[in-house]
Amino acid sequence: MQYLTFKNGDKIPMVGLGTWKSKTGEVYDAVLAAIKAGYRHIDCAAIYQNESEVGQAIKKAIEDKIVKRENLWITSKLWNDSHRAAHVKPALEKTLKDLQLDYLDLYLMHWPVALKHGTSFPKSAEDFVSLEEAPLSDTWAALEACARQGMVRHLGVSNFNSDKIKEIKAGAEIQPEMNQVELHPFLPQKELIAYCKEQGIHMTAYSPLGSRDRPDASKKDDEPSLFDHSTIQKIAKKHDCSVPQILISWAVHRGTVVIPKSTTPAHIRQNIESIDIKLDEADMEAIRKIEKEYRFLDGGLWVKGESPYALEDIWEN
């Protein structure tokens, strides 16, 4: 396994198991299979509504002495309805209880978007809370307080552009150390990666395979496929491996953490084996030359109707 190192010396495994869209009844077996296959990094979130089952699998793996807690890296995320300072700690306590953990290795603010408390997803303008009402700096200060209490070891953000990160950094006593965003050859996010690297912020790639299993309602008819791109197929053939393995290896070669999701044991094993694939400069250059630009998760949910948010509040470009 390869790792990225935080300023305090903690190391995060560069390939983790994503759990977004992993159904209850399936995610327990997926997490257990992943840990048995050598994964030591599990990426979670309260809004995935499966953390309780993830926690049961983690507990089982520890009880069966497959792994020690200190050798696991567990990430979770604060949902948008808990941005007000009074709601941050209770949200984290709920996640810790569900995961059956005393602390998280990394806790992320899931989006730079605030919702009315108790709202999973907005249905009308009344479900939104503006950042004037719930400033990111207030949410961050509450997260810092949780870190000081030992509930979480590292703090970061998800789906944040450089401007929103600057808002956090301006008043932060504990600086953000991770930004988790959509990253793949159709959306390399070069400017955002450059900014985060300059600021000492690591990056995690979600939807590295194009999130093909997300609901059809969120897909477009002319949506491109990473799996069908001739350049990626050619490189996979060259290395005698699968297209998903090339996509995962590409993310690692760029110096980013990557969290492919799967509930299929064979795919779970193949995904972590991607760490051993050595792409050469010709491979990386060929992928750099892919001119297709496409964001699979377009963020439209946060800007519909009379929302106080715009896509420019979220995306870098």
pLDDT digits (tens, 9 = 90+) for 169-192: 999 999 999 999 999 999 999 999
Half-sphere exposure for 262 (CA within 13 Å, toward CB): 23
Highest-confidence range of 218-227, 236-245, 285-294, by mean pLDDT?
236-245
SS3 per-residue string spanning 108-162: EECCCCEECCCCCCCCCHHHEECCCCCCHHHHHHHHHHHHHCCCECCEEEECCCH
Buried b (16+ CB within 10 A) or exposed e, 275-309: bebebeeebeebbeebeeebbbeebeebbeeebbb
For the stretch 140-163, pLDDT in tens is 999 999 999 999 999 999 999 999
Give the separation between CA 39 and CA 50, rounded to whole angstroms: 18
Catalytic-role residue among 3, 28, 39, 48: 48
pLDDT of residue 5: 97
Taking Cα atoms as reference points, which of 200, 151, 206, 161 lies closest to residue 178? 200
Q: How remote is the C-alpha of 73 from its chain's centroid?
A: 13
pLDDT of residue 212: 72
Is the predicted pLDDT of residue 218 greater than 70, yes or no?
Answer: no
> Is 48 a residue of the active site?
yes
State mean pLDDT over 118-147: 95
- Look up residue 160 and give its two tokens: 């944040």
Q: Are 126 and 145 in contact (CB under 8 A)?
A: no
pTM over 0.85: yes
Taking Cα atoms as reference points, which of 5, 11, 16, 40 lies closest to residue 251? 16
Give the separation between CA 82 and CA 63, rounded to whole angstroms: 32
| Phi and psi at residue 262, to the nearest 5° | -160, 150
What residue type is assigned to position 200 of the chain?
G
Is the predicted pLDDT of residue 216 greater than 90, yes or no?
Answer: no
Q: Predicted confidence band at 196 (pLDDT cuts at 50, 70, 90)?
A: very high
State mean pLDDT over 37-64: 97
- Look up residue 135 and give its two tokens: 């400033």
At residue 42, the 3 state secondary structure works out as: strand
Is the predicted pLDDT of residue 224 greater than 90, yes or no?
Answer: no
Q: Which CATH architecture has domain 3-216+254-264+293-313?
A: Alpha-Beta Barrel (3.20)
Q: First-to-last CA distance in the chain?
A: 32
Q: Percentage of residues in the chain with pLDDT exceeding 90?
A: 88
pLDDT of residue 215: 65
Q: Predicted confidence band at 213 (pLDDT cuts at 50, 70, 90)?
A: confident
Is the predicted pLDDT of residue 280 greater than 70, yes or no?
Answer: yes
What residue type is assigned to position 146 of the chain?
C
Is the predicted pLDDT of residue 1 greater than 70, yes or no?
Answer: yes
pLDDT of residue 293: 87
For the stretch 238-258, pLDDT in tens is 999 999 999 999 999 999 999
